[in-house]
Amino acid sequence: MMINPRIDEVEQIASALGIAEGAHYEDVLAVVRARLDDTEPVAAALTQTPREAAWRRSRTEDDPLNAVVRWCDIEPTGEGALSGRTISVKDSVFVAGVPATCGYSGLEDFVPATHATIVDRILRAGGRIVATTNMDCFGFAASGETSSYGPTQNPNSVSHLAGGSSSGAAAALSYPGVDISVGCDQGGSIRIPAAWCGALGLKPTHGWVPYTGIAGIDQIIDHAGPMARSVADIAVMMDVLVGRDGIDPRQPVHVPDATFAGRVQSPPRNLDGIRIGVLDEGVDLAREHGAAGVIDVVEATCRELESMGAQIQRVSVPEHLTIGVASFICNLEGMASLLRSGGHGYGHLGRYDVEFATQLHAALRDRAEELSPQVKVAWLAGTAMSNTYGGALYAAARNSLTDHIAAYANVFAGVDMLLMPTTPFAPLRTLETPSAAQSLDRGWSMLGNTAPFNATGMPALSMPVGRSDGLPVGVMLVGPKGADAGLLEVAQLYETTVGWDLGPELAVAAPEWER
């Protein structure tokens, strides 16, 4: 495919940019064509042949919750901590030979030629990838109802949603064929479905888990992490996932050695000396929603932790209620930039997937109407914001996050970790045909306590500690950057002492293969 800009296209772009008429477009294009003559970078990249892999779409009999987009069978390439374990990954995580559609039907023809870094690590550690799981379209909602493949049902009540955007990753943990799931989190997408389905979900410190080979939203908020039914499983998966890959620009210079499983195998005998701050603003969000049952679970959890020796105190971070605006601006412009730039952004030193960019461009050109309301709004609003302010609004929002991060740092001078409800209310009921306005409101209404810690990059763990009106309630622990293992140690002692209120294990047959 020769790179050959057409004069009519250039004239249209020039008009939109306000470039004066009469410019010597033909002379300019002649220079461009001469420099690009015989160059076929896109065609050359598309000659990669994806590995063959066993996969098929899920069916009602083996996926009653609509948690799985594709069952697959990717055999391990080594032995290690995950030997004998079955793993699901979100539909935005590239598994070579298996379509990765990001919850969007327009990408159904995209088949990655290479594994995401974390998939390669899972296989090398002995894990078997058995499913790619349902998700909100492009991960830009948290309700679990905006996927092109339909909503994911809650394993505790099929009349309620699983939460999102990693909806299927959490719900599939109720299937006997899935031991551990990997989700992605830009505003709460691991922790919200974990809380609503009755599972554990950890958003690690930003950059500790490489994001190479995963479709993101904005590099400053992209996180990948584990979801499971026990702290031990979260820890062993962290040991496998954490570490630099030398490709992902999100990763800091130093990423710690993975020692999470060892830390939780011998947790402290009590929490003496551990200072836990109950965030007033986080609890107030539940109060504003009239979620008395959620607050009751938070208070009961505090009493349990106190009985284990923790020092519980009330703390306030007023900026917790204002960081959402800056974060939302970054999300909108970040998503719009992602869609404009082939799913990668520009100027980073990581690996680019040319075929994904090509497929995404074609899908947005021909099948944009199939996008969810949230993604359409982000594309339109983010583009308008960029055009109106020329990136200044994004820059101001990004700079303001520095002050918000400092506010949390101040409170961490007096406590080791924060505690609050993961979501300000229990799972939403499923609507048969929600309007666009309902979908928009429902998709973003539960982010108040989770999204701030994507913007700050701090680790956050949702724990399944109780119920309200029969539905799971998650309580979240948040620590300063690097405190991931400390959060897991507290959770391990809680699991050993009190136990979790997990979602049900469903009697679902493993998928049969037609090889």
What distances in angstroms separate CA 294 from CA 187, 198, 287, 306, one per listed residue? 20, 14, 9, 19
Tokens representing residue 322 in the block: 């204002």
φ, ψ for residue 466, nearest 5 deg: -175, -170
Catalytic residue among 143, 147, 148, 189: 189
- Can you tell me the distance from the alpha carbon of 274 to that of 339, in angstroms, rounded to the nearest whole number? 44
- Can you tell me the distance from the alpha carbon of 121 to that of 177, in angstroms, rounded to the nearest whole number? 20
DSSP run (H or E) holding 282: helix 280-288
Dihedral sign of CA atoms 319, 479, 226, 160 in order: negative
Active site residue 90: yes
Q: Which residues are within 8 A (CB) of 54 and not within 5 positions of it... i.e. 6 or more apart?
A: 72, 73, 74, 513, 515
Catalytic residue among 92, 143, 157, 165: 165
> Is residue 431 classed exposed, middle or buried when 0-12, 13-18 and 19+ CB atoms within 10 A define those classes?
middle
φ, ψ for residue 260, nearest 5 deg: -70, -45
Q: 58, 71 in Cβ contact below 8 A?
A: yes
Q: 157, 173 in Cβ contact below 8 A?
A: no
Active site residue 435: no
Active site residue 165: yes
Catalytic residue among 58, 88, 90, 143: 90
Q: Which residues are catalytic?
A: 90, 165, 189
